[in-house]
Amino acid sequence: MQQHALTINEKRMDHRIAQLAAIGKISETGVCRLALSPEDREAAELVKGWMEEAGMAVRIDAFGNLIGRIEGEDADAPSLMLGSHIDTQPYAGRFDGIIGVLGAIEVVQTFAERGLVPAVPVEAAAFCDEEGCRFNKGLFGSRGLIGRLEAGELERADKNGVTRREALLAFGGDPERFAESQYPPGRVGAFLELHIEQGPVLESLGRPVGIVTGISGPLWWTVDLYGFAGHAGSVPMPMRRDALAGAARIIVGLQELASGEPGAPTVGTVGSLRVFPDSRNIIPEQVQFTVDLRDIDLARRDALEAKLRALIVSAAEANGLTAEIREDTNSEPRYCAETIVETIRGAAKEMSLDVPELMSGPFHDALAMSYYCDYGMIFVRCKEGISHNPKEYSSPEDIALGTELLYRTALKLCGASSSATDSKAAPLSFQAGGGQQDGP
């Protein structure tokens, strides 16, 4: 079937992606723009200017979130919020999070250029520190906005000893003003996020965009193993308390656990490992590593968690070690609101798009927002499923289709009247206070 002509401005989107990629550039296609870094602030200022160009009132709140807003005909109604994040991993591409923020701006700017006035307010958000790689705890800004931060988060330090509190103050946030930046219940009625898939499903199906039905629940740990340092040449193998040997056993075991059920979407990863004293001829005394375990089936993930804890105890005992586990993140799977999924389906049908429906393994700001309001997500195909890598790539054409679908969905969700014709579409009624839907 013939696809509709685009309403949004594809060239503007593509140009802005390129401009943003120049901030924190590490290679021809690679970006390093860590949360709350000077590069992150520079990017926020650039995006702030685009929000203002689109007609939004813009602020950076106490959590470091960049939020733009246009008022609707009913200024007191719950808003429709669109957005994602602009911080990146240390070895990243140009699209993860970015297309969701720029897509949100493009939606609002297209409203303005077409003379459309939404029935309810529309907000565009670039949330602070979605990635979580700098302070080992992600979704900071989106969780802060809805009052879900945990004790001690501001004292978490990066690899250089800089705490989140220090970085946030340098960025322009203010922990003393958290209460005034937190949203009260019901301020946002629905959240919609555009994002690259970060996986190979859409490409394997030959489809440029897809509809997300839910997000797998991530479990993040930081594990410390403590042994005893000794000379690598003189301590017999049976007498060693080698922390790295214990860690190796756990890492291999995690791979086996996560792969144990054929066809299951379970994934387990150790992505960061630090060894002390880190010398060629000293037996490692301490090892710290991260664990990332995810599954859409919470019961299966819970069972694997129990087995992994038992494995850590066994490996520690076998190597004469003590072990400490710190839980950094623990979220159950969260399913998209069926009303929003159905709205995306309707918008895709108008565009003559065949859109598959799929789960998200990675978490997103939508995961945090799911505890506050209804949410939905749109995925855009990425080449070979590559992400968190400079080779990450989504074509301008696919991004444009995803943004057009975002625009048409937003139009249906918020309702709009034309200043020229006064024709109006009624907005959907939103569910405030938490939009978790029952899973299949």
Which residue numbers belong to the known binding site? Answer: 85, 96, 131, 195, 388
Quote the distance between the C-alpha of residue 309 and its chain's center. 27
Sequence-distant (≥ 6) Cβ neighbours of residue 392 within 8 angstroms? 29, 92, 93, 94, 95, 96, 196, 382, 383, 386
CB 176 within 8 A of CB 362: no
What is the largest distance, in Å, between two alpha-carbon atoms of the chain?
87
* Residue listed under structure tokens 């890598």: 389
**C-beta separation of 59 from 128 below 8 A:** no
Binding residues for Zn(2+): 85, 96, 131, 195, 388
State the Cα–Cα distance between residues 403 and 104, nearest whole angstrom.
Answer: 8
Torsion on CA atoms 426, 369, 147, 43, rounded to nearest 10:
-100
- C-alpha neighbours within 13 Å on the C-beta side of residue 75: 3
Q: Find out whether 359 and 214 touch, Cβ atoms under 8 Å.
A: yes
Give 84's strand partners: 126
For residue 407, count CB atoms less than 10 angstroms from its CB and return exposed for 0-12, middle for 13-18, buried for 19 or more: buried
Q: Are 178 and 63 in contact (CB under 8 A)?
A: yes
- CA neighbor of 130 nearest in space, from 116, 120, 145, 140: 140
